[in-house]
A and B are shown apart, each in its own frame.
Chain A
Amino acid sequence: MLFELIGIPPQALFGQLLLGLINGAFYAMMSLGLAVIFGLLNVINFTHGAQYMMGAFAAWMLLEWAGVPYWGALILAPLIVGATGVVMEKLLLKRLYHLDHLYGLLLTFGLALMIEGFFRKQFGSSGLPYANPLPGGTRLDFMFLPNYRAWIVIASLVICFGTWYMIERTKLGSYLRAATERPDLVQAFGINVPRMITLTYGFGVGLAALAGVLAAPAYNVSPLMGSNLIIIVFAVVVIGGMGSILGAIITGFALGIIEGLTKVFYPEASNTVIFIVMAIVLMVKPAGLFGTPK
């Protein structure tokens, strides 16, 4: 057997591959939302990690305080958190579009710190448990596959493909793509571009919250869960290229798997491998693998 030759038990290999795939699913969903927001708003949304955390907390609150089960939260939490995104765009972000990128980054970064600080004050930083809605699993020849992990992979693929399809293949998506290129002209055709920008931000935020709900049963619900994830997600976005939808999805999954494999073959590098890949990609293609130089 090949596995015996390289001295890696198949259980470990496939176990880490699955973990890598799960992490990749979160990277993909998060960088997808960032790419959609950056494409139309030209804002690097540093609040994305906090909004992911808010999604997980919304699911927890819905369950604990209102008795809404996981499947209801999967729909309600993104809508609630997305609505906070709409308010944030209308009150704050909208005032920054005529300024340099840096101002949007500072605003969203500051908001992320405030939101995380608030949740830490209210709920502590140790994390709250969220019951697994799909306990059990399947024993395969080479590994044990927990049901909820399989669900994460399937759900994230559906979410990513659905978003890609909506943007690249529908009428609404053609408005979005056109407005990304020439918002002034699209508005002069009769389309309410400012409203479209608000809803796009709300959608991107909702996507982060949806990833947060998916994460709630897999990890603890904790105020800092987003800031741990977002640093890697920004590296993924840089590698894939800002603003590319398909690039965000493919890069997200691929880097999750690369990270998982590194844990098997060279565990010492598993925390840094993504940043090494980022450095190499930036040297060869400064606009990212799927980005177009401006």
Chain B
Amino acid sequence: MHNGTELAVSDLNAWYGESHILHGMKFEVNKGEVVTLLGRNGAGKTTTMKAVMGMIPSRKGSVKFGSEELIQLPSNRIAKLGLAFCPEERGIFSSLNVYENLTLPPVVKGGGMSLEEIYQIFPNLKERLKSQGTKLSGGEQQMLAIGRILRTGATLLLLDEPTEGLAPVIVQQIGAMIRLLKDKGYTILLVEQNFRFASTVADRHYIVEHGQVVDMIPNDQIATSTKKLETYLGV
């Protein structure tokens, strides 16, 4: 195994009730890397993230975070080790205001960002602290969803389609923010459908089909692999 491996997933299987969604997912994310899971709708990308995070009760195989095996742990224990999840639907709580949403996830270890640092990255949030969380625009909600997991000291961020449904100018801001987080030393696993956006932020790309990794493309080969990618993603 690579010495700087932060997350090593192997033979990961997961089920929703009777339906078998993940069929032996295998991938690795090294410390400080930004890695994407690319694939079509229903390929199992979100399920992979939720299975890593312990949010799917029915799962088998191995998910190693550093030297810790996560596969048997409940999600609250997994979060305490330093993994944080930003869901696709953002998961902003409507009964909480912006400040309560931002400070909801408990700090799990030292080294997280202060609120001031988060306001510097997302100045919009500071102006709307008293607003109901779900009254924010889509872009602001996405910033809130990411901002709140930067406070906790988590070192591995799982971001599920952070650009989905957002205007191009906001997508650019999210891209700049992900590069900034990489510079700060965060390790990021990103789920994307938009490989053009993914290629502006990521180091490597895993292609997911039918609950399995079928290919891995380093970002410097993405220009020569465009044809292949378009076939995989059906664009």
Which 7 residue pairs of A and B lie closest in terms of their CB atoms, listed nearest first? A190-B79, A189-B105, A177-B95, A188-B75, A174-B100, A178-B93, A185-B91
CA distance A185 to B87 in the complex (A): 8
Given A180-B95, A181-B94, A190:B87 Cβ within 8 A: no
Which residues of A are at the interface with B, using a C-beta cutoff of 8 A? Answer: 171, 174-175, 177-178, 180-182, 184-193
Q: Are A190 and B96 in contact (CB under 8 A)?
A: no
Known: A184-B75, A185-B87. A190 touches B106 (CB 8 A): yes
Q: B95, A188: Cβ atoms under 8 Å?
A: no
Interface string of B93-113 (1 = CB under 8 A from A): 111100010011110100000
Docked-complex contact A182 and B93, CB < 8 angstroms: yes
- Specify which chain B residues have a CB less than 8 angstroms from the CB of A186 in the assembled complex: 104
**Chain B residues within CB distance 8 Å of chain A:** 53-55, 74-76, 78-80, 84-85, 87, 91, 93-96, 100, 103-106, 108, 149, 152
- Which of B53, B76, B84, B106: most chain A Cβ within 10 A? B76
Give me 14 A-to-B residue pairs in the complex whose CB atoms sit less than 8 angstroms apart, sorted by A's number. A174-B100, A175-B104, A178-B95, A181-B94, A182-B91, A185-B91, A188-B53, A188-B54, A188-B75, A189-B104, A189-B106, A190-B76, A190-B108, A192-B76
Interface of B is mostly: loop
Chain A residues lying within 8 Å of B85, measured Cβ to Cβ, are: 185, 188
Residues on B with C-beta less than 8 A from A182 are 91, 93
Q: What total count of A-B pairs have CB within 8 Å?
A: 58
> Inside 8 A of B103's CB, which chain A residues have their CB?
171, 174
Considering the chains assembled together, what is the distance between the CA atoms of A177 and B103 in angstroms?
14
Chain A contact residues: helix, strand, loop or mixed: helix
Residues from chain B with Cβ under 8 Å of A187 in the complex: 55, 74-76, 79
Given contacts A174-B100, A188-B79, 15 further A-B contacts (CB under 8 A): A181-B93, A181-B95, A182-B91, A184-B55, A185-B55, A185-B87, A187-B55, A187-B75, A188-B54, A188-B55, A188-B75, A189-B104, A189-B105, A190-B76, A190-B79
Is A177 within 8 A of B96, CB to CB?
yes
Closest Cβ–Cβ distance, residue A293 to chain B (whole Å): 14
Q: Is the CB of B96 within 8 A of A174?
A: yes
Which residue of chain A lies nearest to B108 when distances are taken between CB atoms in the complex? Answer: A190
Cα–Cα distance between A71 and B94 once the two chains are bound (Å) = 40
Whether A191 and B106, one on each chain, are in contact in the complex, defined by CB atoms closer than 8 angstroms, is yes
Closest to B87 in A: A185
Question: When the two chains form their complex, are residues A188 and B76 in contact, meaning their CB atoms are under 8 A apart?
Answer: yes
Report the bound CA distance from A184 to B84 in whole Å. 13
Q: Which residue on chain B has the smallest CB distance to residue A193?
A: B76
A181 to B85, CA, bound (A): 17
Find chain A residues with CB under 8 A from B152 CB.
189-190
A190: which B residues are within 8 A, CB to CB? 76, 79-80, 105-106, 108, 152
